[in-house]
């Protein structure tokens, strides 16, 4: 009797360990979430389709933008369309980007890309923080994530690369 109880205990423990590994392995990492984000940007015309991939802070900022646009006379659908259009504009140059780093620390992750000069969007046009004499040969784009019950896109920073 005691031997069968021990065997049953070991069996239950083994199944628990295996099922826990399966549950944790099914969560998408930041790279997979970012890939899903890019697919949605290229295939969807609905801003709400991004909601599951964005952090709560990003969703709140988006909601504030939509409310601001509604106060200016746009409908909610038009405001969401403008918001999605802005995100698509930022990523129209992204096909040639080269991922150079990903690092995770706790509930935060950053994917870093190197962007070639011909693919730089107009982020640096008329910016006093960028030396206008120096040619920007490469820029760095950092995509930030938070782990909020799964990885969520939080913010994107594009900046000039000032040497390596």
Closest CA to 111 of 148, 163, 157, 160: 157
Q: Is the pLDDT of residue 91 over 70?
A: yes
pLDDT for the residue numbered 11: 47
- Evaluate if residue 157 carries a pLDDT over 90: no
- Between 6 and 47, the higher pLDDT residue: 47
Which of 10-14, 35-39, 134-138 has the highest average model confidence (pLDDT)? Answer: 35-39
The C-alpha atoms of residue 149 and residue 164 are separated, in whole angstroms, by 35
pTM of the model: 0.69
pLDDT tens for residues 65-79? 999 999 999 999 999
- H or E segment and range at residue 106: none
User: Percent of the chain beyond pLDDT 90?
Assistant: 44
**Residue-level pLDDT at 22:** 44
Three-class SS state of 7: helix
CATH number of 28-160: 3.10.450
Give pLDDT, residue 21: 44
Mean pLDDT of the chain: 79
> Under a CB-based contact definition with an 8 Å cutoff, are residues 142 and 153 in contact?
no
In angstroms, the CA 124 to CA 126 distance is 6
The pLDDT value recorded for residue 117 is 63
């Amino acid at each position: 009797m005691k031997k069968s109880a021990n065997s049953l205990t070991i069996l239950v423990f083994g199944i628990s360990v295996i099922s826990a590994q399966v549950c944790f392995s099914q969560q998408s990492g930041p790279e997979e979430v970012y890939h899903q984000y890019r697919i949605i940007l290229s295939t969807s015309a609905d801003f709400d389709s991004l909601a599951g991939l964005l952090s709560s802070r990003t969703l709140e900022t988006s909601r504030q933008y939509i409310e601001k646009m509604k106060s200016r006379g746009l409908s909610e659908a038009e405001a969401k369309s403008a918001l999605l259009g802005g995100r698509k504009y930022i990523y129209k140059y992204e096909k040639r980007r080269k991922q150079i780093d990903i690092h995770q620390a706790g509930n935060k992750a950053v994917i870093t890309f190197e962007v070639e000069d011909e693919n730089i969007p107009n982020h640096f046009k008329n910016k006093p923080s960028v030396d206008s004499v120096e040619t920007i040969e490469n820029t760095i784009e950092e995509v930030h994530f938070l782990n909020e019950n799964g990885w969520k896109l939080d913010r994107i920073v594009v900046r000039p690369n000032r040497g390596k």
